[in-house]
């Protein structure tokens, strides 16, 4: 900015707690349609599932303190079937919806979690 380089911020502060619990879940699915089906299922129940694989770029500690990918080190690649989701939903319902999503195509879908965000 203005010829000066600044590190990416590495501190978050929660301003207020939500009444809706949040979780993360790692899923494997054979297509983007499977991932969208999970989003649609949570949406149909007035809660949220967001595919962070498409909307969040994770940085390693080295990259977060300088220019992303500018230091010449390597990062692990993620399998195309792997998706990382953020969920906003009561835990019991989140588990039930994940099981419902899985039951539609158990050979094509898997999940691990949910874990507190």
Q: Give tens-digit pLDDT for 4-58.
A: 876 666 667 778 888 999 999 999 988 889 999 999 999 999 999 999 887 776 6
Q: Which of the two residues, 74 and 113, has the higher pLDDT score?
A: 113
Residues, the chain: 117
Cβ of 81: how many Cβ atoms within 10 Å? 15
Q: Which CATH class is domain 22-65+79-116?
A: alpha beta
Full-model pTM: 0.72
69 CA to centre of own chain: 21
- Four-residue CA torsion sign, 71, 60, 54, 101: positive
């Amino acid at each position: 900015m203005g010829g000066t380089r600044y590190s990416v911020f590495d501190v978050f502060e929660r301003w207020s707690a939500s009444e809706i619990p949040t979780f993360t879940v790692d899923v494997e699915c054979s297509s983007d349609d499977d991932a969208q089906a999970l989003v649609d299922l949570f949406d149909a129940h007035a809660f949220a599932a967001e595919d962070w694989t498409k909307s969040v770029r994770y940085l390693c500690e080295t990259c977060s303190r300088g220019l992303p990918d500018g230091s010449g080190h390597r990062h692990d690649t993620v399998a195309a079937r792997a998706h990382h989701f953020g969920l906003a939903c009561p835990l019991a319902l989140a588990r039930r919806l994940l099981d419902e999503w899985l039951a539609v195509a158990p050979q094509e879908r898997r999940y691990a979690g949910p874990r507190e965000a």
